[in-house]
Amino acid sequence: MGKLSLLVSMLMVSCWAMEIHVDDVDTAWQKYLAEFPIEIQTKSEFWFRKSIFSETHNNIAKHNANKDATFQMGHNQFSVMTEEEKHEFFGALLPVPPVNISLDASSRVIATSVDYRTHACMSPVRYQGNCGSCWAFSATAVVEFQKCMKNNLIRVDLSEQQLVDCSRANGCSGGWEDEAWQYLSTVGGQIIESTYPYTAKVATCKFQSTSSPGAQISTTFVQWIPTRDTIAMMTVLTEGRIISTYMQLPNSFMSYQSGVFSDTTCVPNNAHAMNIVGYGSLNSVPYWVVRNSWGPTWGASGYVLVKRSVDLCMIETYPRTTNVL
């Protein structure tokens, strides 16, 4: 074959490969719009969102083709968002734990595995929206679960909006779970969601001290768990409580779908609060079961398995829980 014929042949193969790639992205794009409808006002915005989607799609395909990957990625609501838009879904502030934290777990028996995802006291996964209120959802989940466990497995739906509006200034710009619990112990408790529904934006505090609380917090409002002490964390979970935790999320976390998340490229600006609600092992990889507040369409029905015992992105650095009356 002559050089010209070889060049033409190579160009034809290249064009064919490009056509397949374009078709693949177009097909995925149409499927995405059907599953995650988005409001697009102009043609320029349409192409802008599709260009972000295409980049996300390529990153997902590249990651999932890696046979050594311990987790798989997929499309969700974040697939068409800019980095600035994604950042609105974070909101954890770096915790400041006290010195000399101790929790004697040396003589306690811990379960081989714990998973509260389907427990009677685990409320449905919430959606915080584009408000940096993850801390309020993480704090509330701990209170709801513990209240239910102490109340004959009767589930309670508490108001995250109360924390966003009342426990600090501009609750959509971030916060601390322990600060939220301290506030609740001071004002008499957390009221139910139907009385003070979530709006994903900051408003004037509507809480009144005469309101009947759905749950009350002890004056010893926070129990810090020793940093990077996985046995102590597993002990708390075995005893029937869940944990608030802090992570500095890698960018790949936004597209998590299944498996054990193990990406170590942590991003300090992507600080996020979630809940550890169990632990176990998959294909010999130990993990934490982590509950998120990005809705049930994200991840594995709103949950993610995060590699355990390596303090991945600080998940084991600032664990804490609270004491419900």
Q: Which amino acid is located at 180 in the chain?
A: A
Q: State how far the alpha carbon of 271 is from the alpha carbons of 95, 251, 266, 315, in Å.
A: 11, 11, 9, 11
Q: Which amino acid is located at 91 in the chain?
A: G
Q: Which of 76, 272, 275, 313 is catalytic?
A: 272
Does 152 qualify as catalytic in the annotation? no
Coil/strand/helix, residue 126:
coil
Cβ-contact 277, 247 below 8 angstroms: no
Coil/strand/helix, residue 232:
helix
What are 204's strand-pairing partners? none
Does 272 qualify as catalytic in the annotation? yes
Q: Which of 121, 131, 134, 313 is catalytic?
A: 134
DSSP structure string for 66-107 = -TT-SEEE---GGGG--HHHHHTT--BPPP-PPSS-----TT
Cβ-contact 302, 291 below 8 angstroms: yes
Comparing CA positions, the residue from 267, 269, 280 lying closest to residue 312 is: 267
Does 266 qualify as catalytic in the annotation? no
Q: Which of 76, 270, 275, 292 is catalytic?
A: 292
Centre a 10 Å sphere on the Cβ of residue 181 and count the other Cβ atoms it contains.
Answer: 29
What are 212's strand-pairing partners? none
Which residues does the annotation mark as catalytic? 134, 272, 292
